[in-house]
Amino acid sequence: MRLIFFLSILTGLLLSGCGNSHHPKPKQIIVFHAGSLSVPLAQIKAEYEKKNPGIEILLESAGSLVCARKVTELKKPCDIVASADYFVINELLIPDYTKWSIRFATNEIVIAYNEKSRHSSEINANNWIDILQRDEVIYSRSDPNADPCGYRTVFTFLLAEKYYKREGLAAKMISKNKDYIRPKEVDLVALIESNAIDYMFQYKSVALQHGLKFIELPVEINLSDPAKTDNYKTVSYDVTGSKPGSKMKVTGDYINYSMTVLDKAPEKDAAIDFLCFIVSPEGLEIFRKNGQKPIVPFSTEQPDMIPSKLLKYLPEHKVN
């Protein structure tokens, strides 16, 4: 009886193993991405996995500079890097880790808040500077050394100083409430929702996604308009460089998000297919619904290096 029992158990285990062979482990595509891409990428992931049951998308968010350093310094496996700024990929990942990047979406800097924020009933696009400088008002921003929204907020301060002709404004804005700086822009949302702060400098898309009130700033300072690039480029800021203790200068530009597939991506072909879905009309519509205006067609500075599968989204190899 014991022998029969043992054989029945063994047979069951063998059959179970055979059954599992029909369900191989899905291919996993690892994506390091900017925090402000969390909501749209989660929705894109859900749609893509539904259409491709053999693929699993693993999303890992951080400030864009941190995402790049995970690749360059920590040597973590990764297939796709999706940055809030093309500068990050161009400066830190090209040419040693990838040969190309594409710009696929834009955004703008706003001042976000809720109904419980101090002076929320009176703040507007004309008086925001004076209200934010009041002692009792607390505002937050992300870390310029970790997150493009952080150094873009500094650009907004510098541009506002010139636009409003208020000497010393940028220094005052940078020095106030430094205890409330956080690693990435989406970390600020919890501070607003818990009423720990009154206002935050944030991407418009993030404010919309979280149902927050926000003040739109003049186009001359909100970094949203490619036509204002020459004006944006008049400001710059030094952030942590690619090597410990080093610095690199970031120059103002209109906000443009970029992506790439790394040369040594563990699932390179599958990652390229997923990136194609991201920049397809279906993928870009998800960005549009989440408050991020797509760049159609996407643009690149490395048209000859773009994977062939992506070229159909790049008519006449448009370069920007």
- Given this model, what pLDDT does residue 25 score? 87
Tokens of 162: 């010139």
Residues 101 and 123 in one domain: no
60-69 pLDDT, tens digit per residue, is 999 999 999 9
**Stretches in the chain below the pLDDT threshold 70:** 1-23, 315-320
State how far the Cα of 143 lies from the Cα of 63, in Å rounded to an integer: 9
Backbone angles phi, psi at 168, to 5 degrees: 85, 0
- 216 within some domain: yes
Residues 118 and 152 in one domain: yes
Full-model pTM: 0.88
Q: Containing domain of residue 88, as a range?
A: 27-106+257-317
- 281 within some domain: yes
Q: CB–CB of 93/242 below 8 Å?
A: no
- Given this model, what pLDDT does residue 317 score? 52
Total of domains in the chain: 2
- Given this model, what pLDDT does residue 246 score? 87
- Given this model, what pLDDT does residue 13 score? 46
The CATH number linked to 40 is: 3.40.190.10
- 192 within some domain: yes
- 267 within some domain: yes
Residues 99 and 124 in one domain: no
- Given this model, what pLDDT does residue 23 score? 64
- Given this model, what pLDDT does residue 148 score? 96
To the nearest 5 percent, what fractions of the chain are helix, strand and coil? Answer: 40, 20, 35
73-91 pLDDT, tens digit per residue, is 999 999 999 999 999 999 9
Q: CB–CB of 200/141 below 8 Å?
A: yes
3-state DSSP call for residue 84?
A: coil
The per-residue DSSP string of 89-145 comes to HHHHTTTTT-S--EEEEE--EEEEE-TTSTTTTT--TTTHHHHHTSTT--EE-B-TT
